[in-house]
Every structure is written in C-alpha cells, then in structure tokens.
Amino acid sequence: MAQEASSALHVHQSIVDKSGRNVFSTSKGEPSDLFYGFLGGLHRHIYASLQALQGSAAMRSILGDKFVELYCAVKDDEYREFQEIITPWEREILMFNV
C-alpha cells in the first residue's frame, strides 16, 4: 500500500451549529466553504491538536486517561507514517492547497 498514491490518514468530523445544521454541508448537500477551510487547516494543525488533547484535563475527565493516551499514540504513529510515505509534491500541493 505504501507504493500507492494516497493516504489512509483521515479523521471523520461533523460539526453542527446551534440549530443542529451541519456547517460542512450546504442546503443542497454540497460541501460548504467552511468544509473546504477546515480541510485546508486540518493537516497543518493535527499534531498540535493531539498535543492539546493530551494536555486537556477536561477531555481526560470525559474520555479517560487510557483512551486519550492510546488515541494520541495511534494518531501520532499514523501522522509520522503519513509524513514518511506521502511524497513531497503531495505534501506541498495537496495538503497545503486544498
């Protein structure tokens, strides 16, 4: 799989506003501008997000220390593997220009 052009590193996210409307989708079911902005920033900030999760007492109290430690360890390994397998062109063009 490492020879294939792509990556299995992904996170599923749904974000709704106060009325329960999915902010990543338009009324026609198409991706919203917020969705595209989120995608562009996700790869840039995922490592910092994992560090924030590790240091969050609130999230640890909700999810538990074991879950946070395991989740962050798995995602950290996935992120490092992602950085090793994806080509520099893919990293520059696809990740920073989505």
Q: What digits encode the pLDDT tens for the residues 53-93?
A: 999 999 999 999 999 999 999 988 888 887 777 677 777 77
* Residue 23: inside a domain: no
* Residue 62: inside a domain: yes
* Residue 83: inside a domain: yes
Q: How many domains does the chain have?
A: 1
**Sheet strands (E) in the chain:** none
* Residue 7: inside a domain: no
Amino acid 7: pLDDT: 54
Q: Which residues contact 78 (CB under 8 A, 6 or more apart)?
A: 8, 9
From residue 71, alpha-carbon distances to 8, 13, 84, 87, 94 in Å are 16, 16, 20, 26, 25
* Residue 33: inside a domain: no
**pLDDT score of 11 more than 60:** yes
27 is written with which tokens? 């009324």
% of the chain beyond a pLDDT of 90: 31
* Residue 34: inside a domain: no
Amino acid 13: pLDDT: 75
**pLDDT score of 31 more than 80:** yes
* Residue 9: inside a domain: no
Amino acid 1: pLDDT: 47
* Residue 36: inside a domain: no
Structural domain that includes position 82: 46-96
| Single pTM value for the model | 0.51
Q: Which of 7-21, 44-58, 60-74 has the highest mean pLDDT?
A: 60-74
From residue 34, alpha-carbon distances to 19, 23, 28, 82 in Å are 16, 7, 15, 25
